[in-house]
């Protein structure tokens, strides 16, 4: 590991206008190449990620625009709705372009109160992989993440049994690549001892940087780190320092927060979620926003203060 929690790894921003590729690309180990600027579909379900959206046509339009803007990495889960976002993805994009990678996750379900109880028994994982296959309308899932911890952060403990169950489904040809989500570094290591892990999806953003060391360690291994809540999720990022840097650059705070993640480490893949076409376009444009060393130093201080 070469970088510490207080050091920002910088990689040059990629000029989307020049390349047509938002934020440049990253090749998952042994797997497909995806745009580093992706899209997270959770916001396409109804309030509380439950039920249908108010405007289904608008949700379809957001997905089609994401692909039209060059995005080749979508994140979803059959528990969004449940079933709703996968069904909208299918309606909007099926048959899928060859270059599109759809990552989904299993390991939890929804209850009647809208909660997210764990569902990691091997039979439940098998059922939920089949739910994803059916709703997305595919024979093989590109990437399946085993979702482990609580809503926001990991909980320690062995994940050997559920990850081995997913590895078995991979051997059966139902899954191309495996990832893990809401996990500790020890759980990543345990999963990797069972089968290759191509991505880790954890809670991480400018203000929530518990995984700084994990980001750097995964970068050294060529494994993608996919931060969920890159914009703060249900509690949008708010910071005077972020506002100051954004005003100086003539950009929005959300665009700066995404540009910071892209420059933080080359293995970071973004999946900001939005139900708005305007926000989607703004988020993709953020891939072109270059941050100076001074900008980065000011932004780095936010994470050190809020821990």
Ligand X SMILES: NC(=O)c1ccc[n+]([C@@H]2O[C@H](COP(=O)([O-])OP(=O)(O)OC[C@H]3O[C@@H](n4cnc5c(N)ncnc54)[C@H](OP(=O)(O)O)[C@@H]3O)[C@@H](O)[C@H]2O)c1
Positions that interact with ligand X (CB under 6 A): 40-43, 75, 105, 147, 181-182, 201, 228-233, 236, 254, 271-276, 279, 282-283
Give 139's contacts (C-beta < 8 A, 6+ positions apart): 133
**Can you list the alpha helix ranges (DSSP code H) found in the chain?**
16-19, 56-68, 84-93, 122-136, 160-171, 185-192, 212-221, 240-249, 253-264, 277-285, 293-306
Q: Is 80 a catalytic residue?
A: yes
**CA gap 167, 177 in Å, rounded:** 9
Q: How far is the CB of 260 from ligand X (least distance, A)?
A: 13
What are the Cα distances from residue 51, in Å, to 87, 88, 145?
Answer: 12, 12, 22
Of the two residues 132 and 182, which places its CB atom closer to ligand X in the complex? 182
Q: How far is the CB of 282 from ligand X (least distance, A)?
A: 4
Of the two residues 217 and 256, which places its CB atom closer to ligand X in the complex? 256
Of the two residues 11 and 275, which places its CB atom closer to ligand X in the complex? 275
Of the two residues 32 and 227, which places its CB atom closer to ligand X in the complex? 227
Tell me the CB-side half-sphere exposure of residue 140, using CA atoms within 13 A.
12
Q: Do the Cβ atoms of 277 and 62 come closer than 8 Å?
A: yes
Name the residue with the smallest CB distance to ligand X.
273
Q: How far is the CB of 283 from ligand X (least distance, A)?
A: 5
Q: Which of 39, 80, 96, 204 is catalytic?
A: 80
Q: Do the Cβ atoms of 287 and 15 come closer than 8 Å?
A: no
- Classify residue 55 as exposed, middle or buried by CB count within 10 Å of its CB (0-12, 13-18, 19+): exposed
Q: How far is the CB of 49 from ligand X (least distance, A)?
A: 8
Residues belonging to the active site: 80
């Amino acid at each position: 590991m070469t970088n510490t929690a207080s050091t920002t790894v910088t990689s040059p921003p990629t000029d989307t206008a020049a390349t047509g590729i938002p934020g440049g690309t990253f090749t998952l180990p042994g797997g497909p190449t995806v745009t580093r600027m992706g899209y997270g579909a959770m916001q396409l379900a109804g309030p509380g990620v439950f039920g249908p959206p108010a405007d289904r046509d608008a949700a379809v339009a957001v997905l089609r625009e994401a692909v039209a803007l060059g995005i080749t990495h979508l994140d979803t889960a059959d528990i969004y709705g449940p079933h709703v976002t996968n069904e909208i993805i299918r309606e909007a994009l099926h048959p899928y372009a060859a270059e599109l990678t759809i990552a989904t996750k299993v390991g939890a379900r929804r209850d009647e109160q809208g909660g997210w109880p764990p569902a990691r028994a091997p039979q439940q994982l098998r059922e939920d992989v089949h739910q994803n296959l059916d709703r997305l309308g595919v024979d093989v899932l590109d990437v399946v993440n085993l979702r482990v911890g609580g809503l926001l952060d990991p909980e320690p403990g062995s994940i050997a049994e559920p990850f081995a169950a997913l590895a078995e489904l991979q051997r059966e040809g139902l899954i191309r690549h495996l990832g893990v989500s809401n996990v500790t570094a020890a759980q990543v290591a345990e999963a990797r001892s069972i089968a290759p892990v191509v991505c880790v999806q954890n809670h991480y953003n400018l203000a929530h940087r518990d995984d700084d060391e994990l980001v750097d360690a995964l970068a050294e291994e060529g494994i993608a780190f996919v931060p969920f809540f890159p914009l703060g999720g249900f509690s949008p990022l708010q910071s005077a320092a972020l506002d100051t840097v954004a005003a100086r650059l003539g950009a929005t705070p959300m665009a700066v927060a995404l540009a910071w993640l892209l420059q933080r480490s080359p293995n970071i893949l973004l999946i900001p979620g939005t139900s708005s076409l305007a926000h989607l376009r703004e988020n993709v444009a953020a891939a072109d926003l270059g941050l100076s060393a001074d900008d980065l130093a000011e932004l780095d201080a936010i994470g050190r203060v809020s821990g």
